[in-house]
Amino acid sequence: MMEAAAGNRPDHVPADRVVDFNIFAPPGAEQDYFAAWLSLLDGPGLVWSTANGGHWIGARGDIVRDIWGDAARFSNAALAVTPGLGEVMNFIPLQQDPPEHKPFRMAVMKGMAHQHIVAMEPTVRAEAQSLIEGLNGGNGCDFMQDFAEILPVNMFLTLIGVPTDDRTKLRPLGQQLTRPDGSMTVVELRDAADNYLEPYVKARLENPGQDLFGRILSVPIDDRPWSFDEAQRMCRNLLFGGLDTVVAMLGNMLLHLATHPQDQQRLRDDPKLIPDAVDELMRRYPTVSVTRNCVEDSEIDGVTIKSGDLIYLPSVIHNLDPRSFDRPEVVDFERKLAPIRHTTMGTGPHRCVGAGLARTEAIIVLQEWLASIPPFRLAEGAKPSFRPGNVGALSCLQLCW
Ligand code: HEM
> pLDDT per residue over 350-399, tens digit each?
999 999 999 999 999 999 999 999 999 999 999 998 988 888 889 899 99
Atom of ligand 1 nearest to the CA of 286: 5
Smallest CA separation from ligand 1 atom 24, residue: 354
- Inform me whether the pLDDT recorded for 55 exceeds 90: yes
Which atom of ligand 1 approaches the CA of 343 most closely? 10
What pLDDT was estimated at residue 84? Answer: 72
Q: How far is the CA of 237 from the centre of ligand 1 (A)?
A: 9
Return the pLDDT at 3.
42
What's the mean pLDDT in 237-260? 92
Instruction: Calculate mean pLDDT across residues 196-204.
Output: 93
CA of 241 to the centre of ligand 1 (A): 5
Q: Supply the range of the domain harboring residue 73.
A: 6-400
Mean pLDDT of the chain: 92
Number of domains in the chain: 1
Instruction: Confirm whether 116 is domain-assigned.
Output: yes
Contact 80 CB / ligand 1 (< 6 Å) = no
Model confidence pLDDT, tens digit, residues 312-325: 999 999 999 999 99
- How many CA atoms, within 13 angstroms, populate the side-chain half-sphere of residue 131? 25
Ligand 1: residue whose CA is nearest its atom 16: 290
| pLDDT above 50 for 335 | yes
Does 93 sit behind a cis peptide bond, omega within 30 degrees of 0 on the bond before it? yes
Residue 352 alpha carbon to ligand 1 centre in Å: 4
pLDDT for 338: 77
63-107 per-position pLDDT tens digit: 999 999 999 999 998 767 676 777 888 999 999 999 999 999 999
If you average pLDDT over residues 159-178, what whole number do you get?
A: 83
- Ligand 1 mean position, distance from CA 308 (Å): 24
Q: Is residue 381 in a domain?
A: yes
Question: Long-range contacts made by residues 124-132, C-beta under 8 angstroms, separation at least 24?
Answer: 124/151, 124/155, 124/360, 124/361, 124/364, 124/365, 125/364, 125/367, 125/368, 127/151, 127/154, 127/155, 128/364, 128/365, 128/368, 128/369, 129/368, 129/372, 132/368, 132/369, 132/372, 132/373
CB 128 within 8 A of CB 254: no
Q: Is the CB of 314 under 6 A from ligand 1?
A: no
Query: How far does the centroid of ligand 1 lie from the alpha carbon of residue 167, in Å?
Result: 19
* Percent of the chain residues topping a pLDDT of 90: 77
Position 136 scores a pLDDT of 78
Nearest atom in ligand 1 to the alpha carbon of residue 315 is: 10
Residue minimizing CA distance to atom 17 of ligand 1: 352
Q: Looking at the domain assignment, is residue 1 inside a domain?
A: no
pLDDT digits (tens, 9 = 90+) for 267-313: 999 999 999 999 999 999 999 999 999 999 999 999 999 999 999 99
Domain annotation covers residue 176? yes
The DSSP-derived string for 99-117 is: TTHHHHHHHHHHHT-HHHH
Predicted confidence (pLDDT) per residue in 204-229, tens digit: 999 998 999 999 999 999 999 999 99
The finding on whether 92 has its CB within 6 A of some atom of ligand 1 is: no
Domain annotation covers residue 218 = yes
Indicate whether 251 belongs to any domain.
yes
Q: Which of 6-20, 85-99, 175-189, 350-364 has the highest mean pLDDT?
A: 350-364
CATH number of the domain at 171, please.
1.10.630.10
**Strand, helix or coil for residue 260:** coil
What average pLDDT score do residues 50-73 get? 95
Q: Percentage of residues in the chain with pLDDT exceeding 70?
A: 97
User: What would the DSSP string read from start to end of 2-70?
Assistant: PPP-GGG--TTS-GGGEE---TTS-TTTTT-HHHHHHGGGGS-SEEEE-STT-EEEE-SHHHHHHHHH-
Is residue 110 in a domain? yes
86 located within any domain: yes
pLDDT above 70: residue 181 = yes
28 has a pLDDT exceeding 50: yes
pLDDT range class, residue 7, cuts 50, 70, 90: low
